[in-house]
Chain A
């Protein structure tokens, strides 16, 4: 067993160039800005943040669908740039949000689930059939659905198919991008239980992207909070939910509506809207919405301050803010 993190991002940035109108000058959009992350084997890292914060860009880079502009992605201590996408897809597999659009409606479940094996030329017909049956069993689907088509299945069943397809390659890391947000409450809990069981049985590592903080709290072991392409706080799940440091993390947690009648709707104090990522605010990108803003927040960008179990990027926790340039 190596002591490398199974997945590591080192100062990864991704810059898109956005054209502004027909004659407008192209402008850079920093979707990811010096993101560093480490995922230990068996961990579940919950990635939370509002839409547009860069969660999906991060997932795309990990899946090899996008190349980082700068920085490195390491799997088991090896830099990804040298490996090709095929090799990468054996180790990292995705589960997407919407099982209605992520399964090809014209292919049978058998075709969908075994496609990764055929692409990689793994096994023969008989062994693929054995793998298919084993996977369907693992995700709790009867073997007879192999001949069915996605349109014949419910949302929960489709998401089980998507999980079977992701796991048939025996990946080490699964990127779950909002895997339950398109599902009904009673189906969501079945899928969450299944993901928790599979992690234990197969020793999987998850990157769990979600805007539902209650779900993240339930499943994750660590949490990273993203804001405008930066990870502004990273901590163990207990620390983050009981003792969040960054004012943005606190505001996100306050917006969770627990089923407590009579408590009313909380005031998150996040007055202004989410900023336009093409022209991010100066200094700390969060300062226009921050309830604890200080004068130098508008001019000096905060640096990552190490904490006992992660880091936080906020001047409130930096003893020498003047040095943070």
Chain B
């Protein structure tokens, strides 16, 4: 056991060539993740949060250009690692849960085959041992009659069950890092709560680190140790969950929290906060604070750059204002 973070990312940049020019989808993001810790990346569509997770797993399309000053997993440099080395890591020590279990399970193979394959790819085990492990994991994720499920195909299972199978598959080799991209978005709220509880329990039990990608602030608050708020390819605010929700400082984070109705908190039927405008185009040169076009705290220097500012307790944000608020000048 070392004090070094399990996953360390500095200056991760993702560029996608398009007909209209270079799309700067992710622009220089930094974060660290320790063993057993949960980081939630929260953002809206197009913020680059899913691309970030694919970049970590080395699953980007060939056209997407990835650069970083550091991207290391437990001492292994993910940028220079060979394809063979990456294949060894993926599914074994780091694995991924996708949003839509129907499209990420193979419809032509049984659940049992797909679960066993994961293990037999990375461990020298017999078919019988792999099957036994598959049953063990299916039971662990709360699937009843696990033995009989092995011979079933994905289409024979409900959405909640399929997502449990996906989780079981991701856990077959007891990974140290699990990346879950919107794992509960396609599910009913009741099933969502069950799946999240399951993930959190298993993560504690196995001391896994988890990156959970979501747009749902409720999920973030209930699951995260650390939160990273992503907007237009940048992490605009990062910090411990209690700090982000207790003292949201970046105007975008505050705006998001004002947009959602919260039972028992905001008055029924009262107007909800809004963030006017739309996400800026990231094609071509991107300068200044990406949120300034929608920000009610905007001032002239926002066109230049948004400096990274530090608050106590590892709470950082990017804004020209030292406290995230515009203050009218006292000299009238």
Residue numbers of A with Cβ under 8 A of B are 50-51, 154-155, 184-186, 188-190, 192-193, 196, 211-215, 217-219, 237-238, 241, 251-268, 270, 273-274
Chain B residues with CB under 8 Å of A241's CB are: 263-264
Chain A residues with CB under 8 Å of B215's CB are: 184-185
A270 touches B190 (CB 8 A): yes
Interface residues of B in 188-205 (CB under 8 A from A): 188-194, 196-197, 200
A50 touches B268 (CB 8 A): no
Contact A219-B222, Cβ < 8 Å, known A256-B263, A261-B241, A270-B194: no
Question: In the complex, A190 Cα to B190 Cα: how many Å?
Answer: 26
Contact with A along B178-221 (1 / 0, CB 8 A): 00000000001111111011001000000000000001111111
B221 touches A50 (CB 8 A): no
List the 10 closest pairs (A to B, CB-CB), nearest first.
A257-B218, A218-B261, A189-B272, A186-B275, A189-B259, A259-B221, A184-B44, A261-B241, A255-B193, A50-B188
Contact A257-B188, Cβ < 8 Å, known A186-B44, A189-B260, A218-B268: no
Question: In the complex, A127 Cα to B95 Cα: how many Å?
Answer: 60
Contact A259-B272, Cβ < 8 Å, known A185-B215, A185-B256: no
Chain A residues with CB under 8 Å of B278's CB are: 154
B166 interfacial by beta-carbon distance below 8 Å: no
B245 touches A266 (CB 8 A): no
Chain B residues with CB under 8 Å of A267's CB are: 193, 197
Chain B residues with CB under 8 Å of A154's CB are: 278
A256 touches B189 (CB 8 A): yes
A264 touches B222 (CB 8 A): yes
Question: In the complex, A192 Cα to B259 Cα: how many Å?
Answer: 10
Chain A residues with CB under 8 Å of B260's CB are: 185, 188-189, 214, 259
Question: In the complex, A260 Cα to B246 Cα: how many Å?
Answer: 9
With most chain A CB atoms within 10 A of its CB, the pick from B197, B268, B276 is B268
Choice from A196, A211, A219, A258 contacting B189 with Cβ under 8 Å:
A211
Residue numbers of B with Cβ under 8 A of A are 44-45, 158-161, 188-194, 196-197, 200, 215-224, 241-242, 244-246, 255-266, 268-269, 271-276, 278
Choice from A184, A253, A258, A270 contacting B45 with Cβ under 8 Å:
A184
Question: In the complex, A288 Cα to B227 Cα: how many Å?
Answer: 38
Chain A residues with CB under 8 Å of B44's CB are: 184-186
Chain A residues with CB under 8 Å of B194's CB are: 268, 270
Which residue of chain B lies nearest to A272 when distances are taken between CB atoms in the complex? B144
Chain A residues with CB under 8 Å of B259's CB are: 185-186, 188-189
A259 touches B268 (CB 8 A): no
A192 touches B224 (CB 8 A): no
Chain B residues with CB under 8 Å of A213's CB are: 189, 263
Which residue of chain B lies nearest to A214 when distances are taken between CB atoms in the complex? B261
Residue pairs across A and B with Cβ atoms less than 8 A apart, 6 shown, are A51-B159, A196-B271, A214-B260, A217-B263, A251-B190, A257-B193
Which residue of chain B lies nearest to A154 when distances are taken between CB atoms in the complex? B278
Question: In the complex, A193 Cα to B255 Cα: how many Å?
Answer: 15
Which residue of chain B lies nearest to A48 when distances are taken between CB atoms in the complex? B189
B217 touches A273 (CB 8 A): no
Chain A residues with CB under 8 Å of B222's CB are: 257, 260-261, 263-265
Closest CB in chain B relative to A198 CB, distance in Å: 13
B263 touches A192 (CB 8 A): no
A259 touches B245 (CB 8 A): yes
Question: In the complex, A252 Cα to B191 Cα: how many Å?
Answer: 10
A218 touches B272 (CB 8 A): yes
A193 touches B261 (CB 8 A): no
Choice from B161, B190, B196, B272 contacting A192 with Cβ under 8 Å:
B272
Question: In the complex, A274 Cα to B189 Cα: how many Å?
Answer: 12
With most chain B CB atoms within 10 A of its CB, the pick from A184, A193, A270, A274 is A184
Choice from B188, B217, B241, B263 contacting A51 with Cβ under 8 Å:
B188
B269 touches A193 (CB 8 A): no
